[in-house]
């Protein structure tokens, strides 16, 4: 009888502890963090959405493609880096290719991409930077290097009938310094740059 009573008491203590922790960490803590996020950093907490008036045109945190219906890159827009997430920048399938630097398929894909970028932008293959032909680890990175952005200036300017110097200055204005001045490398947010480009042509 004593053993049964002890067992029941132990189970009851364990059940109460489970319920308390479920409420605290499964309900109260997430609600508290959500409330803090909405008050302190509402834009970031809601996905860093980018709006054009009332319409959402993207997120500052997730890249997107600038292609036609056939999936071909549009020459009048700055192009992002490749994406291995789903059909490209699919937030529900975020991932890299998981292919190593000696993988034959990856090497072949890089060579093909390099040739396409070089032809598309009218440059030599040796001038094509690494981020123009490789996907990020998440497949969602909205940034490209300043080198890749500047590589596209002549093509974008020609497609839009704009002055090359003006488009180059636009790119330079959108170069973001590394976090805290030293973490990472300078980057350019492609969506932000293309939105400014659209306004430039208005």
Exposed, middle or buried: residue 31 (CB in 10 Å: 0-12, 13-18, 19+)?
A: exposed
**Helices 153-160, 164-173: inter-axial angle, 10-degree rounding:** 130
Q: What is the pLDDT of residues 34-71, one digit of tens each?
A: 888 888 777 677 777 788 778 888 788 899 999 999 98
162-182: pLDDT as tens digits: 999 999 999 999 999 998 888
Query: Which distant-in-sequence residues (6+ apart) come within 8 Å of 163 by Cβ?
Result: 157
Tell me, what's the pLDDT at 39? 80
Q: What share of the chain in percent tops pLDDT 70?
A: 97
**Local structure of 108: helix, strand or coil:** helix
> Any idea of the CA torsion for 60, 63, 66, 68, to the nearest 10 degrees?
-130
Q: Average pLDDT for residues 14-34, to the nearest whole number?
A: 90
Could you give the 3-state DSSP secondary structure of residue 188? strand
């Amino acid at each position: 009888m004593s053993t049964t009573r002890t067992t029941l008491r132990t189970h009851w203590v364990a059940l109460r502890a489970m319920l308390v922790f479920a409420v605290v960490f499964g309900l109260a803590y997430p609600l508290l963090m959500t409330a803090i996020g909405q008050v302190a950093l509402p834009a970031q907490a809601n996905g860093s959405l980018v709006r054009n008036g009332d319409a959402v045109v993207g997120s500052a945190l997730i890249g997107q493609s600038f292609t036609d219906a056939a999936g071909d890159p549009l020459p009048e827009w700055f192009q992002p880096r490749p994406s291995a997430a789903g059909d490209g920048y699919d937030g529900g399938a975020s991932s890299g290719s998981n292919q190593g630097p000696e993988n034959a398929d990856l090497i072949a894909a890089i060579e093909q991409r390099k040739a396409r970028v070089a032809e598309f932008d009218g440059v030599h293959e040796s001038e094509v930077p690494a981020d123009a032909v490789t996907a990020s680890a998440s497949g969602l990175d909205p940034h490209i290097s300043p080198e890749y952005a500047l590589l596209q200036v002549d093509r974008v300017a020609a497609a839009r009938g704009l002055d090359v110097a003006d488009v180059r200055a636009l790119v330079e204005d959108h170069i973001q310094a590394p976090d805290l001045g030293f973490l990472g490398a300078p980057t350019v947010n492609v969506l932000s740059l293309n939105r400014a480009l659209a306004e430039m042509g208005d």
